[in-house]
A and B are shown apart, each in its own frame.
Chain A
Amino acid sequence: MPIKILMPALSPTMTEGNLVKWHKKVGDKIKSGDLLAEIETDKATMEVEAVDEGVIGKLVIEEGTQGVAVNSVIAILLEKGEDKSALDDMGLEAPKPSIAEAIKEVKSEPVTIINEGPKTQSTSSSKERIFASPLAKRIASDQNINLHNILGTGPHGRIIKADVLASSGSSTNSHEGPIARIAQEYRLIANNSIRKVIARRLSESKQNIPHSYLSTDCNVDKLLELRHDINHARSADANAVRVSVNDMIIKAVALTLKQVPEANSAWTDEAILQYNNIDISVAVSIDGGLITPIVFNADQKSIFTISKEVKELAAKARAGTLKPHEFQGGGFSISNLGMYGIKQFNAIINPPQSCILAVGANITTPIVKNNKIEIANILCVTLSSDHRSLDGAMSAKFLQTFKEIIENPVRLLLGH
Chain B
Amino acid sequence: MAENFDIVIIGSGPGGYVAAIRAAQLGMKTAVIEKADLGGICLNWGCIPTKALLRCSEIHHLLQNADQFGFTISGIKFDLQKIVERSRKVASQLSSGVSHLLKKNKVTVIKGYGKLAGKGKIIAEQDNNKTEILAKHIIISTGARARILPGFEPDGKFIYTYREAMIPNELPKKLLVVGSGTIGIEFASFYHNLGSEVTVIETIDKILPAEDDEISTLARKSFENQGIKIYTGAKIQSAVKNKDTVTATVDIKGKTEKFEVNAIIMAVGIEANIENLGLEHTTVKIDKGHIVTNEWLETSEKNIYAIGDVAGAPWLAHKASHEGIVCVEKIAGSKDVHPICKTKIPGCTYSMPQIASVGLTEKQALEQGYKIKVGRFPFIGNGKAVAMGESEGLIKTIFDEKTGELLGAHMIGAEVTEMIQGFVIAKNLEATELDLMHSIFPHPTLSEMMHESVLSAFGKAIHF
Residues of A within 8 A of B (CB): 112-113, 116, 133-136, 138-139, 142, 153-156, 160-161, 173-175
Contacts and interface: CB of A to CB of B under 8 A. Distances in A.
B445 to A, nearest CB: 23
6 contacts: A112-B336, A133-B431, A134-B431, A135-B432, A155-B338, A173-B368
Contacts of B368: 173, 175
A136 B336 contact: no
A160 B427 CA distance: 11
Interface of B: 335-338, 368-369, 402-405, 429-432, 434-435
B408 to A, nearest CB: 14
A138 B432 contact: yes
A135 B336 contact: no
A77 B405 CA distance: 54
B336 A138 contact: no
Find the residue from B336, B338, B368, B434 having the highest chain A CB count within 10 A: B336
Contacts of A155: 336, 338
Contacts of B435: 134
A112 B338 CA distance: 12
A62 B12 CA distance: 60
Given A160-B430, A161-B430, A175-B368, A135 B403 contact: yes
Find the residue from A113, A116, A133, A138 having the highest chain B CB count within 10 A: A138
Contacts of A139: 403
Contacts of A173: 368
Contacts of B336: 112-113, 155-156
B115 to A, nearest CB: 34
B292 to A, nearest CB: 17
A135 B335 contact: no
A138 B335 contact: no
A138 B403 contact: yes
B369 A175 contact: yes
B335 A112 contact: yes
B213 to A, nearest CB: 20
Nearest to B367: A175
A161 B430 CA distance: 8
A139 B404 CA distance: 9
Nearest to B343: A173
Contact of B338 (A134, A138, A154): A154
Contacts of B405: 135, 161
A135 B337 CA distance: 21
A136 B430 CA distance: 7
B430 A142 contact: no
B437 to A, nearest CB: 11
A135 B402 contact: no
Contacts of B337: 113
Nearest to A159: B430
Contacts of B432: 134-135, 138
Nearest to A155: B336
A133 B434 CA distance: 12
Contacts of A136: 430
Contacts of A161: 405, 430
Given A113-B335, A138-B403, A142-B403, A133 B430 contact: yes
A134 B433 CA distance: 10
Contacts of B429: 133-134
B431 to A, nearest CB: 5
B404 A138 contact: yes
A145 B363 CA distance: 31
Contacts of B430: 133-136, 160-161
A135 B369 CA distance: 18
A25 to B, nearest CB: 36
A153 B337 CA distance: 10
A347 B337 CA distance: 48
Contacts of A142: 402-403
A182 B335 CA distance: 21
Given A113-B335, A116-B335, A175-B369, 14 more contacts: A113-B336, A133-B429, A134-B430, A134-B431, A135-B403, A135-B404, A135-B432, A139-B403, A142-B402, A142-B403, A154-B338, A155-B336, A156-B336, A161-B405
A175 B369 CA distance: 8
A274 B391 CA distance: 97
A155 B432 CA distance: 18
B370 to A, nearest CB: 9
Nearest to A175: B368
A135 to B, nearest CB: 4
B423 to A, nearest CB: 14
A174 B369 CA distance: 9
A133 B404 CA distance: 12
Contacts of A154: 338
B341 to A, nearest CB: 9
Contacts of A160: 430
Find the residue from B369, B429, B434 having the highest chain A CB count within 10 A: B429
A295 to B, nearest CB: 54
Contacts of A113: 335-337
A153 B430 CA distance: 13
Nearest to A176: B368
B294 to A, nearest CB: 14
A175 B402 CA distance: 16
A156 B337 CA distance: 10
B458 to A, nearest CB: 14
Nearest to B435: A134
A116 B337 CA distance: 12
B241 to A, nearest CB: 48
A155 B337 CA distance: 8
What are the 9 A-B residue pairs with the smallest beta carbon separation, nearest first?
A133-B430, A135-B430, A175-B368, A134-B432, A134-B435, A112-B335, A135-B405, A138-B432, A113-B335
A134 B434 contact: yes
Contacts of A175: 368-369
A136 B428 CA distance: 12
Nearest to B427: A135
B208 to A, nearest CB: 24
Contacts of A156: 336
Contacts of B335: 112-113, 116
Contacts of B404: 135, 138
B333 to A, nearest CB: 10
Contacts of A134: 429-432, 434-435
B360 to A, nearest CB: 11
A129 B338 CA distance: 23
A156 B402 CA distance: 27
Find the residue from A133, A156, A160 having the highest chain B CB count within 10 A: A133
A147 to B, nearest CB: 13
A135 B338 contact: no
B338 to A, nearest CB: 7
A160 B428 CA distance: 10
Contacts of B431: 133-135
